[in-house]
Chains A and B, each alone.
Chain A
Amino acid sequence: MAEPIIVVRNLSKAFPGVQALRDVQFDLYPGEVHTLVGENGAGKSTLMKILSGVYQRDSGEILINGKPAEINNPRAAQRLGISIIHQELNLMNHLSAAQNIFIGREPRRSGGFLLDEKAINAKAKELFDMLHVDLDPRVKVGELTIAKQQMVEIVKALSFNARVLIMDEPTSPLNDTEVEELFDIIRHLRSQGVGIIYISHRMDELFRISDRITVLRDGQYMGTHRASETDLDQIISLMVGRKIDETARRVPKGKPGEVLLEVRNLNRGRLVKDVGFTVRKGEILGFAGLMGAGRTEVARAVFGADPVDSGEIYIRGRKVVIHHPRDAAKHGIGYLSEDRKRYGLAVGMPLVDNICMTDLPTFMNALGVLRPKKMQEASSEQVEALSIKTPSLLQKVKFLSGGNQQKVVVAKWLVKNCDVLFFDEPTRGIDVGAKQEIYQLLNELASLGKAVVMISSELPEILRMSDRVVVMCEGRITGELDGATATEEAVMKLATQRETMVKTA
């Protein structure tokens, strides 16, 4: 095998109060995909930030092409041929694709004083063609899909003649087709001899794309394995230090009860077509499908967040009209959006305020003054019921773990006595340990007699959690499966059953 591009020996890095990395080892060969896994806080990002010049190491050694290297800033990393694609894309939405790619090294004319827009676009086009990316360099980046934006980032990274490409959770915002396209590009780059460091939380991807896998836990090096010589169980047990049975199915406790929510003939343009389903008390209903299948749209329509063209909604057999999320909440329907921080929580505010936020009027006295004691009582009840781990009710939500933040969002709805809870991708971007917490939470909610609807794009999760699985494709429900007997193949088949195919069949 060739010489490694990067060798990291005994790398340590501390931040005030935390040892982020302790004696970490890592190496990367040209033409390989080396995946880095670990729970949130395991030190993956710190290691990547050291390699890309954002942080400086405390001790240890970094060899680039066999020579000791100092990576003092992002520029130095670029000069050494190391480029990073951050999880949160770092693009300027108001600038064109070409302008984004060449930011900081714009081609000039007139003695270096003026920008050369023609040259910039031509150069970008050349790069796009080389990678078979179909993009107009003059398009403003803000107008592109996330997947295309990512392509711009990758092209930008490679335009530095990068020989090492670090990708931090590149697939989390992508749908399955887009993931395939990305993997094609990764494979193409690998064949060109580029070394790729890949970070992902999606366990199913790990073995599809990796050549080697390195595990970090709490800043410590847990070992490196060839992907062909290990399996998911081993990797997960290295990550969390305990074996988690990722595939165990949920065992429903007792029979599901009465029908809490029934939706009939729901329509909304091309996004939701004639959708009908029921959810029972104490049941978890999984909504499976590819991204863009219309699952979120169904939830939002039921919740009154988007206007519908037609459709009927029954709560406990009684017909209700929902025009606004306010109506939905009144009828006991809660919707927990995918993006907790943006839509679900005021992260800078204390736990108690967040929990009581949706139902403040019940915590006021006649004069409209809030009664903190009552709020704290209600909150501590929820903290106990959901076993939210927090040092106090006054803790700011941003200091809680991802799993506990999710619980706070749930608590908000429970305070309002919601019986039907829609969870939209509840585990997206959450590490394995926290996922377990969420699964437990969903199970608990079901056993408390709530009706839980879980929208998820991760098939193992759907199969593991659901009593019943509803599968959608292009706005229609293409089938319903029993959770206990459903297989990934069966779900995928329904999820890709497009209308045109049905007709010809």
Chain B
Amino acid sequence: MANKSNAAAVTSPAKMASRARGVSARQKLLAFSSLVLLIIVFSILSPNFFQPYNLIAIMLATAVNGVLAVGVTFVIITGGIDLSVGTMMTFTAVMAAQTVAVWNLPVIVGVLVALLVGTICGLASGVMVAKFRIPPFIATLGMNMLTKGLSLIIANSKPIYFTNAPSFSKISMGTMFPFLENFQIPNAVIILFVLAILASFVLNNTILGRYTFAIGSNEEAVRLSGINTDRWKIAVYGVNGLICGIAGILIASRLNSAQPGLGQGYELDAIAAAVIGGTSLSGGEGTILGTIIGAFIMSTLTNGLRILSVPQEWQIVTTGIIIIFAVYMDMLRKRR
């Protein structure tokens, strides 16, 4: 160990820094160029791929997973994990539907309820992790089952339809740019991009972002610097919950209903997107841009394989291989 670090001392700090920057830039470039490569390959293989309607379909398919992935990226950067984002999303959707469709309250109230419920669930996970010292894996696995069960109970195991509020579906499926005739980007996609930009800004320019990275890098050091790490960890899980609420609104609006049985499995897609995008499961590293690219890689792959009529079973296999490959690349990078 000591000998190694001594050998490294020969290189100047500036040189090492540029090497470090080179490595992380290369990783981002790798994810991005994989996405470009996928798009090129599918465009060559099928004339139907690179068409406005299909590109919009890919983006729409990315929206919900992308939003969840942005949230879970925060948690993963702290060195934690959240296995409940999918079912939390469903729970917030059910609560929104309950508010709007059953209690007949205005759509905006439903939206606020979803955001509030998501935030509360997230904060609860955060308290379990930070205060009760329950490992994140277990705490959020519990939250996964808890929210799944509650969704089924509240919705009586049946979908709730927004029959009385047609405007609800506009949240996802309407467009802010109706004038782009052939390229009507749905609001869900716009919301994803706005959220991503906002999240990226928060991660890089605010105290919350700085402590998110710091806690993931060395929590004890942060604590000894006189920072209340518990509070910030709870906040990060809370932010993730809030973002799950956004995803809940998007999916409910897109399906024009709340499907209480939905959600399980979404958490793994979200985690996969973050990891493909270079977020390290051991904490301290990650970018929102990477995560968004990761989410797009997954949906592009699924979409492209479907267009090429690859059976759905094989689509899943391919996604699995991509994830393993992405994590392996991450490991190679760390081992250097």
Contact = CB atoms under 8 A, between A and B. Distances in A.
Interface of A: 54, 73-75, 78, 86, 90-95, 99-100, 103-104, 106, 108, 113-115, 134-136, 138-140, 142-148, 173, 175, 271, 291-292, 294-297, 338-339
Contact of B217 (A93, A113, A134, A297): A93
B226 to A, nearest CB: 4
B20 A140 contact: yes
Interface of B is mostly: helix
Contacts of B1: 173, 338-339
B16 A143 contact: yes
Given A92-B213, A95-B213, 16 more contacts: A74-B226, A90-B225, A92-B214, A95-B217, A99-B214, A103-B225, A104-B226, A114-B205, A138-B17, A139-B13, A139-B16, A142-B20, A145-B8, A173-B2, A271-B7, A297-B3
Contacts of A175: 2, 6
Nearest to A428: B2
Contacts of A114: 205-206
Given A90-B221, A338-B1, A104 B284 contact: no
Counting chain A CB atoms within 10 Å of each CB, which of B20, B207, B218, B220 scores highest? Answer: B218
B333 interface: no
A81 B271 CA distance: 44
A339 B4 CA distance: 13
B285 interface: yes
Interface of B: 1-3, 5-9, 13-14, 16-17, 19-20, 205-207, 209-210, 213-214, 216-218, 220-222, 224-227, 284-285
A94 B284 contact: yes
Contacts of A86: 224
Contacts of A291: 2-3, 6
Contacts of A140: 17, 20
B2 A92 contact: no
A115 B218 contact: no
A161 to B, nearest CB: 15
Given A115-B210, A145-B6, A291-B2, A136 B218 contact: no
A339 B220 CA distance: 21
B106 to A, nearest CB: 31
Given A99-B210, A338-B2, A91 B221 contact: yes
A454 B268 CA distance: 50
Nearest to B218: A92
B6 A91 contact: no
B217 A92 contact: yes
Contacts of B17: 136, 138-140, 143
A292 B6 contact: yes
Contacts of B205: 114-115
A238 B171 CA distance: 77
A339 to B, nearest CB: 6
A136 to B, nearest CB: 6
Nearest to B8: A145
Contacts of A90: 218, 220-221, 224-225
A79 to B, nearest CB: 9
Contacts of A100: 221
A157 B319 CA distance: 48
A76 B131 CA distance: 22
A103 B13 contact: no
A196 B199 CA distance: 44
A296 B209 CA distance: 41
Nearest to A338: B1
A148 B222 contact: no
Contacts of A146: 2, 5
Contact of A292 (B7, B20, B222, B224): B7
A143 B3 contact: no
A78 B226 contact: yes
Contact of A92 (B7, B8, B221, B226): B221
Contacts of A99: 210, 214
B214 A95 contact: yes
A135 B16 CA distance: 12
23 contacts: A86-B224, A90-B224, A91-B221, A92-B284, A93-B284, A95-B210, A95-B214, A103-B214, A103-B222, A104-B227, A114-B205, A115-B206, A136-B14, A136-B17, A139-B13, A139-B14, A143-B16, A145-B6, A145-B9, A173-B2, A292-B3, A292-B6, A295-B3
A242 B16 CA distance: 49
A362 B218 CA distance: 41
A100 B205 CA distance: 15
Contact of B226 (A73, A113, A134, A136): A73
B197 to A, nearest CB: 15
Given A94-B213, A94-B284, A115-B205, A143 B225 contact: no
A284 B242 CA distance: 65
Contact of B13 (A75, A93, A143): A143
A440 to B, nearest CB: 25
A292 B7 CA distance: 7
A92 B226 CA distance: 14
Contacts of A113: 206
A92 B225 CA distance: 11
Contacts of B285: 94
Contacts of A138: 17
